[in-house]
Structure 1
Amino acid sequence: MDMRQDGETPSIESRASWVIATTAVIILSVSFGAPLIVIVGLRDIAETLGEARALPAVAVSLAYLGAGAGGVLMGWIAGRSSARLVTLIGGSMVCGGLLLASEGSAWQLMLGYGLLVGLLGNGALYPPMMAYVSLWFDRRRGTALALVSSGQYVAGALWPALFERAIAAFGWQRTMAGFGLFVAVAVLPLAALVLRQPPAPPMGGGTAAGPLAEAPVLGLPPNLALALLSVASFLCCIPMAMPAAHLVAFCGDLGIAGQRGALMLSVLLVAAFLARQAWGWLSDRIGGLNALLAGNICQTVGMAAFLATQDEAGLFLVSAAFGLGFSGIVPAYVLAVRELFPAREAAWRVPVLLFLSLSGMAAGAWLAGALYDGFGNYAVAWQAGIACNLAALALLGGLALRRRGFSPASVP
Structure 2
Amino acid sequence: MQSTVLDSRYSWGRLGLSLLIGLIGNVGMWIVIMVMPAIQAEFGLDRAQASYPYVWTMVGFAAGNFLIGVMVDRFGVVRVLSGMSLVMAAGFALAAISPGIGVVSLLHVLVGLGTAASFGPLIADVSLWFQRRRGIAIAVIASANYLSGAIWPLLLSGHLASEGWRGVYLLLALIIAVTVPPLTLMLRRRLPLSEMPDALAQGAAAGGIGGLSPRQIALILGLAGVACCVAMSMPQVHIVALCVDLGFGPAVGAEMLSLMLLGGVVSRLISGLLADVLGGVLTLLIGSTLQMLALFLYLPFDGLVSLYVVSTIFGLAQGGIVPSYAVIVRELMPAREAGRWVGFVMMSTIVGMALGGWVSGLIYDLSGSYQLAFWNGIVWNLGNIGIITYIFLSAREKAAGRA
TM-score, scaled to structure 1? 0.86
- 1:137 and 2:124 correspond: no
Aligned position for 1:82: 76
Structure 1 residue matching 2:7: 3-state secondary structure: coil
Aligned position for 2:140: 147
1:230-249 correspondence runs (5 A): 230-249=222-241
Residue 334 of structure 1: which of 326, 329, 353 is its match?
326
Aligned position for 1:156: 149
Contact preservation (8 Å) 2:202, 2:335? yes
Structure with greater contact order relative to length (CA < 8 Å, sep ≥ 6) = 2
Contact preservation (8 Å) 1:233, 1:356? yes
* Structure 1 runs not aligned, ≥5 long: none
- What amino acid sits opposite 1:221 in the alignment? S
1:13-412 correspondence runs (5 A): 13-34=7-28, 36-42=30-36, 50=43, 52=45, 57-106=51-100, 109-114=104-109, 116-119=110-113, 121-170=114-163, 172-200=165-193, 202=195, 205=198, 209-212=202-205, 216-250=208-242, 257-258=248-249, 260-407=252-399
Cα separation, 2, equivalents of 1:359 and 1:189: 30
Structure 1 residue matching 2:118: 3-state secondary structure: helix
Cα separation, 2, equivalents of 1:36 and 1:206: 34
Contact preservation (8 Å) 2:147, 2:261? no
Cα separation, 1, equivalents of 2:204 and 2:40: 51
Deviation at 1:194, TM superposition (A): 2.9
Q: Bigger CA drift: 216-225 or 199-208?
A: 199-208
Contact preservation (8 Å) 1:236, 1:392? yes
Contact preservation (8 Å) 1:150, 1:273? yes
- What amino acid sits opposite 1:277 in the alignment? L
Deviation at 1:71, TM superposition (A): 1.9
Contact preservation (8 Å) 2:55, 2:357? no
Deviation at 1:83, TM superposition (A): 0.9
TM-score, scaled to structure 2? 0.88
Cα separation, 2, equivalents of 1:118 and 1:204: 34
Cα separation, 2, equivalents of 1:207 and 1:174: 47
Deviation at 1:381, TM superposition (A): 2.1
Cα separation, 2, equivalents of 1:349 and 1:260: 38
- What amino acid sits opposite 2:248 in the alignment? A
Change (3 A) 1:292 1:199: farther
Change (3 A) 1:332 1:176: same
* Structure 2 runs not aligned, ≥5 long: none
Change (3 A) 1:188 1:284: same
- What amino acid sits opposite 2:357 in the alignment? A
How many percent identity over aligned positions?
33
Greater helix share, 1 or 2?
2
- What amino acid sits opposite 1:229 in the alignment? L
Change (3 A) 1:399 1:39: closer
- What amino acid sits opposite 1:186 in the alignment? T
Cα separation, 2, equivalents of 1:201 and 1:337: 23
Structure 1 residue matching 2:209: 3-state secondary structure: coil
Number of residue-to-residue matches in the alignment: 399
Contact preservation (8 Å) 1:202, 1:209? no
1:330-365 per-position Cα deviation (integer Å, ceiling 9, x unaligned): 000110010011111111111111111001111122
Change (3 A) 1:248 1:357: same
Cα separation, 1, equivalents of 2:124 and 2:84: 15
- What amino acid sits opposite 2:107 in the alignment? G
Change (3 A) 1:171 1:321: closer
1:26-53 per-position Cα deviation (integer Å, ceiling 9, x unaligned): 11211222355544444655676x5637
